[in-house]
Amino acid sequence: MGNRHDSAVARHAQQETATAPRGFREVLLSPGDCSGCGACMELAPDIVGWREGDERPFLVSDMAPDGVLTELMAFCPEGCFEDGDAS
Ligand code: SF4
């Protein structure tokens, strides 16, 4: 239920601004150095997915709450995640 509400809030906010909704950041995933540890998917399964048979994750959503992106950037041992709104 929380996710549905969060998505509705994100959609609403997206309509009001051209950039990331307040409290959300654009997620950039560059899996070039990915070791396949799976930490990102365990940490944020709403944002990062993994197809069976793949060696690397993919983005389910390119928007994530601030705190979630911060955790992804902190916990990925290979530095595959970046804040797209930081540049
Ligand atoms: S946390 Fe980083 S290194 Fe580990 S699977 Fe995810 S992208 Fe790859």
34 Cα–ligand 1 center, Å: 5
Task: Give the per-residue pLDDT at 1.
Answer: 47
User: What are the helix (H) ranges across 17-76?
Assistant: 39-43, 66-75
Enumerate residues lining ligand 1, CB below 6 A. Answer: 31, 34-40, 57, 76-78, 80
Atom of ligand 1 nearest to the CA of 29: 7
Task: Give the per-residue pLDDT at 21.
Answer: 85
Rounded distance, CA 22 to CA 76, Å? 24
pLDDT, one tens digit for every residue, the chain (87 residues): 445 555 555 555 445 445 778 999 999 999 999 999 999 999 999 999 999 999 999 999 999 999 999 999 999 999 999 999 986
17 Cα–ligand 1 center, Å: 30
Is residue 51 within 8 A of residue 60, CB to CB? The reply is: no
For residue 44, give Cα distances in angstroms to 17, 52, 71. Answer: 25, 17, 9
Task: Give the per-residue pLDDT at 6.
Answer: 56
* CATH class for the region spanning 22-83: alpha beta
For residue 37, give Cα distances in angstroms to 13, 14, 45, 82, 83. Answer: 33, 32, 14, 17, 21
